[in-house]
Structure 1
């Protein structure tokens, strides 16, 4: 199980990342682009994720991943249950989401 604090410790080390509380939801973004967001009760973490790969990811682990709300299906986004994620999976998801929203030159210099 991961928590907002687990994600915060990683996300705030990533270049250009800022944390925001928007409508009682913790979000991490680069500029105006959100790449990680939590539900109000922090049981769901949404991350930037390629739409074309989303269905395969969900099919591979339906107990971990699920679709966002219907109104958000047009976005590059997938949701996860925080209780079903471990630290390593969270790290991979957050880093990949961050790479999607920063310039390639920034991602190339990332903290890895």
Structure 2
């Protein structure tokens, strides 16, 4: 199964403070201008917020699924995934975790029902 922009949109739009934007023909989801998910122009690659200190291990563990960010994005907490390699459950987890990185902790806790 290939994850589509529409699949991601259904998850992201339900997350508080999320807005969708089209920037240079690329669909992006963000909170107050901070992008947490973005698609390549051809929608075959989905970039997402991810701790940069953990991304090399993620890519090494599943190189057919995950890619290092483009050189221009290496300074950010960012990694990429091939949409054709993701299933719906994994995409949902990725999108929610990426959103949690950019939204205030209180907002995430309230929305997800976390104890703190």
Does TM, normalized by the shorter one, top 0.5?
Answer: yes
- Look up the match of 1:41: 42
Confirm or deny that 1:80 pairs with 2:88.
no
Aligned equivalents of 1:47 and 1:92: distance in 2? 11
TM-score, normalized by length of structure 2? 0.94
TM-score normalised per structure 1? 0.97
Structure 1: gaps of 5 or more residues:
none
Per-residue Cα deviation, 1:39-93 (whole angstroms, up to 9, x for no partner): 0000000000000110111111100000111111010000000000000110111
Specify the SS of the correspondent of 1:28.
strand
Shift of 1:111: 4.3
Q: After superposition, give the CA deviation of every residue in 1:11-47 in whole Å (9 maximum; x if it has no partner).
A: 0000000000000000000001000000000000000
CA distance in 1, matches of 2:45, 2:5: 10
Gaps of 5+ in 2: none
Q: How does 1:1-112 map to 2 (within 5 A)?
A: 1-111=2-112
